[in-house]
Amino acid sequence: MQATSRRIVTNQAGPHQGLEARVARALQYPWRKPIADHTREAFAAAARWREARCDMPLMLDAGCGVGISTRRLAEAFPDHALIGVDRSDSRLSREHGPLPGNVLLVRADLVDFWRLAFQAGWRPARHYLLYPNPYPKASLLKLRWHGHPVLPFILALGGRLELRSNWRLYLEEFSLALRQATGREVAVEAHDPGAAYLTPFEKKYHLSGQPLWRLVVKLPHYPELVAKA
């Protein structure tokens, strides 16, 4: 099957000049944006589900879209408890068959969900950010996860963190932000999914002939990255 998915078009020639300042700010200043009630409720339900499986290692699929990756990861890790989070009700409610017993799909804003997970002391063993929205215009750096004030919370949760993207520069910037925050040097690698696609976006980009990239890092629990209020 052929697919036609447009390549990323950006007005950046390299890593964003403002990245270092944004990461420094996120690390230095406490972030006070109130948490939305609906995500608080969604998190409380997820925490109850998690509590009932507290003997299983936790995996997060952040921005899981229609939840296909969450299902596939559940098959690969049947002894883990998997939570897929996405803010799009229409994506989450698409029918892709019954959910395995070790999967929960949650409609929530990750920006709040991650903070609540951090506050609740969650320690995911594995954490996936698969094909996050790239926001390729330079003016949108603040919307990329590494340019966002939530970055310290993502890293502080710890565990094996894996990002995949069809935009190499996104992952290179994430790697720079990671180094700034934790001192860790992590290379961006080419990713060839073969025919074993983990997500619909992975499939779409691969069948369009686009190169894919990934970044994997094993992090300790890093509570000190989150600035105290």
Ligand X SMILES: C[S@@+](CC[C@H](N)C(=O)[O-])C[C@H]1O[C@@H](n2cnc3c(N)ncnc32)[C@H](O)[C@@H]1O
- Residue 36 beta carbon to ligand X: minimum distance, rounded to whole angstroms: 11
State the SS3 of 192-226: CCCCCCCCHHHHHHHHCCCCEEEEEEEECCCHHHC
Beta partners for residue 84, in sequence order? 61, 105
Binding status of residue 154 toward ligand X by CB under 6 A: no
Binding status of residue 199 toward ligand X by CB under 6 A: yes
Beta partners for residue 196, in sequence order? none
- Residue 112 beta carbon to ligand X: minimum distance, rounded to whole angstroms: 8
Which of 167, 131, 124 has the alpha carbon at shortest distance from 15?
A: 167
Q: Which of 122, 170, 201, 213 binds ligand X (CB under 6 A)?
A: 201
How far is the C-alpha of 117 from the C-alpha of 198, rounded, in Å? 24
- Residues 7-66 touching ligand X, rule: CB under 6 A, are 63-65
How far is the C-alpha of 82 from the C-alpha of 105, rounded, in Å? 8
Binding status of residue 93 toward ligand X by CB under 6 A: no
Binding status of residue 147 toward ligand X by CB under 6 A: no
Residues 96-135 as x/- pattern, contact with ligand X by CB under 6 A: -------------xxx------------------xxxx--
Residues that bind ligand X in the complex, under the rule CB under 6 A: 63-65, 69, 85-88, 91, 109-111, 130-133, 199-202
